[in-house]
Structure 1
Amino acid sequence: MNITQIMTPSNRLLTTTADASLASLREIFAKANFQHVPVIDGTNRLVGIVSVKDYFRELSPIMDSATDPAIGLFMRSRKVHHVMVSPVITITPQHSIKQAAVLLLEHNISCLPVSTDEKHLLGIISWKDIMRAALTKTAATS
């Protein structure tokens, strides 16, 4: 089993751009069943990643004290590049699932975008994908 067999391919991912607003990011998180959104440029090149944790960390200081209109203005004016992580730790399809697991543990992260050497997004692999694969493999050998 290799990474491409267990990753979520890019055609099933929702992505955003660095100049998109936090309001648009809220819509993506609401629509998607993902905890991470890759940030790409116009050529499908990965430039960052933003997690639901990053999103809420940005909003948390104003949530208790701001009015709804002020929060709305903040979310429309604040951009994804303010909250995204860049550069991104990535993996290529040639790496093993074990190497992906090691990177997740070493860097204390929960997903890895799968990309070409030129950083073109191919998909994303999470610790849940790895656990699911491990459980499937274990069940098949039991």
Structure 2
Amino acid sequence: MDASLAQVRTLFDTHPFYHLPVLDGAGCVVGLMSRTDYLANLSPFLNTPAERSLDRDIMLRPVHQFMSRQVPLLRPEQPLLEAAQVILAHHFSCLPVVDSEQRLLGVLSWKDLLRFGLNRPRAPAKAEAG
């Protein structure tokens, strides 16, 4: 929660993540930081000749000032259809999966759901009577 925006930048620059669950000191999910949230808060003047101290200072601010709060959480036993409905209803592109104490177990993204749907065995097409 108290990691700086500069630390988030390092994670996004070194890993192919699009979302970072934000955890409290006990490892419980308290929010979600997306690459979009991160980019939306950067100054366009950062690392340019027009950069101001204000542009640099934002990189020192803690992630909890930028993260999405009140993120819907999933439990491992929830059906994938329900997970898909939650993602669509809340306009999130991923959801943290947590245990009964809201400790992070993983992240389910819309791409995971799409992959699952595309890889499911299909019933053979029925021949039409003619």
TM-score, normalising length: structure 1:
0.77
Q: Which runs of 5+ in 2 are unaligned?
A: 125-130
Greater CA deviation, 129-138 or 66-75? 66-75
1:132–1:64 Cα change, 3 Å = same
Residue 141 of structure 1: how far off its partner (Å): 5.5
**Residue in 1 aligned with 2:62?**
79
1:127 and 1:112 map into 2 onto residues whose CA distance is: 9
Q: Which of 1 and 2 has higher RCO (CA within 8 Å, sep 6+)? A: 1
Output the CA distance in 1 between the equivalents of 2:20 and 2:101.
19
Q: CA deviation at 1:56?
A: 1.1
**Structure 1 Cα separation of the partners of residues 45 and 57 of structure 2:** 15
Amino acid at match of 1:21: S
Residue 125 of structure 1 aligns to which amino acid in structure 2?
A: L
The 5 A counterparts of 1:44-55 are 44-55=27-38
Computed over aligned residues only, the root mean square deviation of the Cα atoms, in angstroms, reads 1.9
Partner of 2:120: helix, strand, or coil? helix
The percent of aligned pairs where both chains have the same amino acid is 38
Structure 2-normalised TM-score? 0.84
Q: Tell me the matched-pair count.
A: 121
Q: Whole-Å Cα distance in 2 between the matches of residues 19 and 39 of structure 1?
A: 9
Q: Is the 8 A contact 2:45 2:55 kept in 1?
A: no
Task: State the partner residue of 2:128.
Answer: none
